[in-house]
């Protein structure tokens, strides 16, 4: 039991909290300093019995003022939102920006060839706070289209952009038109694909009936490096509940949509299936782990080339980041070395459509060599076989795993005990 407890403790300590590139990872906001510099913030700060400066997180005015002074002090941004609108916490929202930066730099998929020299992003539902375009433009110099549907969001997002002339040229606020002429996903799929196989099949409980999200909002010929989204997570305001420990505001228009985040993000996936390489990366936040599994399965169905996830720990709340792409992943050798080990081994990571993965695994199963322990490989996500190279007298045990949706990991190790060589090779294709 003691071992269990310490294991649990270690896991909690190891949970990711803040991205290492985040400005606040080593220097959390200093309330005393901010209170001394900004009288408007000073009135919200009190000192607890341990002498530490604090604010009442349940006071919307206090959290809004904290966000205002952090954006001003650390990012030179002028910012405000009306009462009750969703108030972002700057350190948490910065994590999503840094995760996107990691994706863009990762080279897992090639750059899209454009004549642009700056990164271009699309913030779905930018809100009155317009936080992602403001942070992305000021931290990274990225340009943005920020979309929204409500008058108050559009009016205040515009204001927040105009109040920051240093970056205002980088941000376009775009109204989502809900005209009847907007192409529905179903119409668009009929237009663009004659293959019934390639259509996204959706269960009724995941239907989204709201305004357009990407399709019908992205203009012809536009190309983006990424999209991002903090979706309306909930189906009802009751479900949204108000975290009794914080007050970050949030109106029903911001927090709720029919079908909740599952439906909203499913629509983004449907749209991405049509728009394909219009975006290099599609990304979104996900509020529930159970929805994450459902959405990854949906991505498998539409045959994306890559799926990435991350976890954002935001105080007491956990959110997940989900990213995918239709750009074929880059084939490259990540490492190749000869080490002094007693077995010859290699590892290959292969990206392919889910259908291809299944076919490869099935083929592997058929060549399965029971003598090397194939009975372990009972499900279709794992398979083992034996590869003989008669001329070299080498015999490899090959194991194929479906590691993540659309990613096969092929591991091979020699059965020859006296070999002095070992090599590790990782490829993506």
Ligand X SMILES: C[S@@+](CC[C@H](N)C(=O)[O-])C[C@H]1O[C@@H](n2cnc3c(N)ncnc32)[C@H](O)[C@@H]1O
β-pairing, 120-124 with 224-229?
parallel
What does the block give as tokens for 201? 């099949």
CB of 180: closest distance to ligand X in angstroms? Answer: 15
CB of 323: closest distance to ligand X in angstroms? Answer: 17
CB of 324: closest distance to ligand X in angstroms? Answer: 19
Radius of gyration of the chain (CA): 25
Q: Binding residue for ligand X (CB under 6 A) from 92, 95, 150, 345?
A: 150
Decide if residue 129 touches ligand X (CB under 6 A).
yes
Picking from 419, 418, 400, the residue whose alpha carbon sits closest to that of residue 410 is: 400
Q: Binding residue for ligand X (CB under 6 A) from 91, 125, 136, 406?
A: 125
CB of 160: closest distance to ligand X in angstroms? Answer: 11
Return all residues near 185 (Cβ < 8 A) that are at least 6 apart: 200, 215, 267, 270, 271, 274
Backbone angles phi, psi at 74, to 5 degrees: -95, -20
Please report where in the chains the tokens 């099935």 appear, as a residue: 362
Return all residues near 156 (Cβ < 8 A) that are at least 6 apart: 80, 81, 82, 85, 128, 129, 130
State whether the Cα torsion 320-218-240-82 is positive or negative. positive
- What is the footprint of ligand X within residues 28-87 (CB under 6 A)? 86
Decide if residue 94 touches ligand X (CB under 6 A).
no
CB of 138: closest distance to ligand X in angstroms? Answer: 16
Give the nearer residue to ligand X in terms of CB position, either 81 or 408: 81
Binding mask of the shown chain, residues 220 to 259, with x at each position contacting ligand X by CB under 6 A: ----------x-x--------------------xx--x--
β-bridge partners, 398: 385, 412
Decide if residue 275 touches ligand X (CB under 6 A).
no
CB of 149: closest distance to ligand X in angstroms? Answer: 5
- What is the footprint of ligand X within residues 177-216 (CB under 6 A)? 210-211, 213
CB of 230: closest distance to ligand X in angstroms? Answer: 3
Put residue 130 in one of left, alpha, beta given phi > 0 → left and psi -120 to 50 → alpha.
left
Decide if residue 148 touches ligand X (CB under 6 A).
yes
CB of 125: closest distance to ligand X in angstroms? Answer: 2
The residue number whose beta carbon is nearest to ligand X equals 125
β-bridge partners, 347: 411
Q: Binding residue for ligand X (CB under 6 A) from 66, 70, 108, 149?
A: 149
Q: Binding residue for ligand X (CB under 6 A) from 45, 71, 145, 153?
A: 153
Determine the Cα–Cα distance for residues 374 and 378; give it in Å rounded to an integer. 8
Decide if residue 145 touches ligand X (CB under 6 A).
no
Determine the Cα–Cα distance for residues 72 and 36; give it in Å rounded to an integer. 14
Strand order across the 171-175 sheet: 171-175, 143-148, 120-124, 224-229, 279-286, 317-325, 306-314
Give the nearer residue to ligand X in terms of CB position, either 103 or 227: 227
Q: Is residue 341 exposed (0-12), middle (13-18) or buried (19+ Cβ within 10 Å)?
A: middle
Give the nearer residue to ligand X in terms of CB position, either 232 or 406: 232
For ligand X, the binding residues (CB under 6 A) are: 86, 88, 124-127, 129, 131-132, 147-150, 153, 176, 210-211, 213, 230, 232, 253-254, 257
């Amino acid at each position: 039991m003691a071992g269990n407890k310490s294991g649990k403790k270690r896991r909690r300590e190891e949970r990711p909290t803040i991205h290492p590139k985040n400005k606040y990872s080593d220097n959390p906001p200093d309330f005393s300093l901010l209170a001394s510099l900004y009288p408007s913030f000073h009135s919200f700060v009190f000192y607890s019995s341990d002498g530490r400066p604090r604010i009442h997180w349940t006071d919307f005015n206090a959290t809004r003022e904290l966000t205002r002074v952090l954006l001003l002090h650390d990012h030179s941004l002028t910012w405000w939102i009306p009462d009750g609108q969703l108030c972002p916490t700057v350190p948490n929202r910065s994590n999503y920006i840094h995760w996107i930066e990691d994706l863009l730099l990762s080279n897992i998929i090639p750059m899209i060839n454009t004549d642009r020299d700056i990164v271009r992003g699309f913030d779905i539902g930018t809100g009155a706070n317009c936080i992602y375009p403001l942070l992305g433009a000021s931290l990274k110099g990225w340009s943005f289209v920020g979309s929204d549907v409500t008058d108050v969001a559009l009016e205040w997002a515009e204001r927040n952009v105009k109040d920051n002339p240093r970056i205002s040229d980088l941000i376009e606020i775009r109204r989502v038109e809900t005209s009847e002429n907007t192409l529905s996903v179903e119409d668009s799929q009929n237009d663009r694909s004659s293959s019934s196989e390639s259509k996204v099949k959706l269960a009724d409980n995941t239907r989204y009936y709201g305004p357009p999200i990407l399709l019908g909002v992205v203009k012809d010929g536009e190309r983006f490096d990424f999209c991002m989204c903090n979706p309306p997570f909930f189906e009802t305001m009751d479900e949204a509940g108000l975290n009794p420990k914080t007050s970050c505001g949030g109106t029903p228009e911001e927090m709720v949509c029919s079908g909740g985040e599952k439906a909203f993000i499913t629509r983004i996936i449907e749209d991405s299936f049509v728009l394909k390489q219009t975006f290099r990366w599609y990304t979104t936040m996900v509020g529930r782990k159970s929805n994450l599994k459902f959405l990854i399965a949906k991505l498998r169905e539409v045959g994306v080339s890559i799926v990435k996830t991350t976890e954002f720990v935001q105080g007491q709340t956990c959110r997940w980041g989900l990213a995918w792409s239709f750009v074929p992943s880059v084939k490259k050798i990540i490492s190749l070395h000869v080490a002094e080990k007693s077995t010859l081994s290699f590892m290959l990571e292969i990206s392919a459509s889910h259908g291809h993965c299944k076919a490869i695994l099935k083929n592997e199963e058929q060549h399965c060599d029971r003598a090397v322990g194939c009975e372990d490989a009972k499900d279709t996500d794992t398979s083992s076989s034996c590869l003989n190279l008669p001329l070299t007298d080498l015999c490899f045990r090959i194991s194929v795993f479906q590691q993540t949706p659309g990613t096969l990991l092929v591991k091979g190790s020699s059965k020859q005990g006296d070999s002095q060589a070992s090599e590790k090779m990782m490829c993506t294709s």
